[in-house]
Structure 1
Amino acid sequence: MADNQTTKKESKKQLWLRIGVIAAIIVVVGIIFIVKNISKKESTTLANESSQITGQSDIDETYSLKLTVADLETIKTYGVPTVIDFGSDSCIPCKEMAPTLEKLNAEWQGKAVVQFMDVWKYTDGVSDFPVQVIPTQVFFDADGTPFIPSENLQKEIQFDMYSVKESGAHVFTVHQGGLTEEQMRIIFAEMGVE
């Protein structure tokens, strides 16, 4: 009789454990749904705030400063030199770069794309890029290929080149750390933007 009661208690425990696991899964899925919807609303709000701050409502939404997702295939279709700065709104070197990014984004509309992604808010957006520290900038030429700096520029500003191990194909040109407005202008001048 005692064995029968022990078996019933274990069965009840297993049933409650299964119910708890199912409930936890439902809660996690609900949280993910809510977070994604908040991110979409936040992205729209950030784009609107950016145009209000800069006083420029004619900024093309495609080239808005703040990103929530960085998609390589989309970047390759821009048709102009591009930089994505991966950082955070709460990182000191990132905050120091923010005014430069805002200024160049507004100034170079139609000539170049200057974008920023907060990697602490949008953790999924950085997974396709070689970001080890923040801020990190990833540069692409107008044809969507990785920018290749001249030897002179490479002596002045340190870039890291990333290639596919098997084929040797160059996939990323990256700068780690902050860049000044002057350095950004030098890089983009070499990319054909004035």
Structure 2
Amino acid sequence: MVDNQTTKNEYKKQLWIRISVIVAIVAVIGIIFLIKNTAKKDTAALTDDGSQTTEHSDADETYPLKLTAVNIETIKAYGIPTVIDFGSDSCIPCKEMAPTLEKLNAEWQEKAAVQFIDVWKYTDGVSDFPVQVIPTQVFFNADGSPFIPSEDLQKEIQFDMYSDKESKDHVFTVHQGGLTEEQLRIIFAEMGVE
């Protein structure tokens, strides 16, 4: 005959083993979940010169859409046509442009840099640029020089040209206000992006 006490002890032991296995599985799943979410979470990553950061880390994005700071030298080093849209996540015309910027940023990776900075969240990002209203876009050619639109394009879309006060060199080509996807495609086509 089997001892009743031994059976109870054996049952308790098996129960604790089962509970321990379940707890271990839940812990492993929790750790995996935390690791994956931490890797995907938005981070403020500095570039080598410590000046330009991105709001998020995405391995597929060479030129991230959202910036927290803008460095002119970094932009010039891209080697592709670039537009920086200075706006805000809470400005109505900026919100209207957001889907277009997202679409073109994804479509033109490695061909052109389409980037955005929220000037109300990241006020330092605007200090080197002639931004008077939002949204404002600043355009650069692949060689880092300011984009100079043709006369025909100037008739369609108004640009403001800014020169250095001392040297009189052209330093910025700016558009103030919102732009449509079609307008951005026309501008970038003139910059050599298809």
Same-fold status (TM-score > 0.5): yes
- Aligned counterpart, 2:116: 116
- 1:81 maps to 2:92: no
Q: Residues 137-192 of structure 1: CA distance to partner in whole angstroms, max 9, x if unpaired?
A: 00000000000000000000000000012221000000000000000000000000
TM-score, length basis structure 2: 0.72
8 Å CA contact 1:146, 1:170 repeated in 2: yes
Question: Radius of gyration: which is bigger?
Answer: 2
Higher share of residues assigned helix: 1
Count the aligned residue pairs.
Answer: 146
SS at match of 2:44: helix
Aligned to 1:156: 156
Q: Which residue of 2 aligns with 1:47?
A: 56
Query: Alpha carbon RMSD of aligned pairs, Å?
Result: 1.7
Q: After the TM superposition, which of the residue ranges 164-173 and 184-193 deviates more from structure 2?
A: 164-173
- Secondary structure of 1:76's match? helix
Contact 1:47 1:65 in 2 (8 A): no
Are the equivalent residues in 2 in contact too, given 1:112–1:193 (CA < 8 A)?
yes
Deviation at 1:40, TM superposition (A): 2.8
| Structure 2 spans left out of the alignment, 5+ residues | 1-41, 46-52
CA contact (8 A) 2:80 2:111 kept: yes
**CA deviation after TM superposition for structure 1 residue 39, in Å:** 8.1
Which amino acid in the other structure matches residue 178 of structure 1?
G
The answer to whether the 8 A contact 2:164-2:171 is kept is yes
- 2:16 counterpart residue number: none
Contact kept? 2:69, 2:124, Cα under 8 Å:
yes
- C-alpha distance in structure 2 between counterparts of 1:89 and 1:103, whole Å: 16
Gaps of 5+ in 1: 1-37, 52-56
The amino acid of 1:40's aligned partner reads A
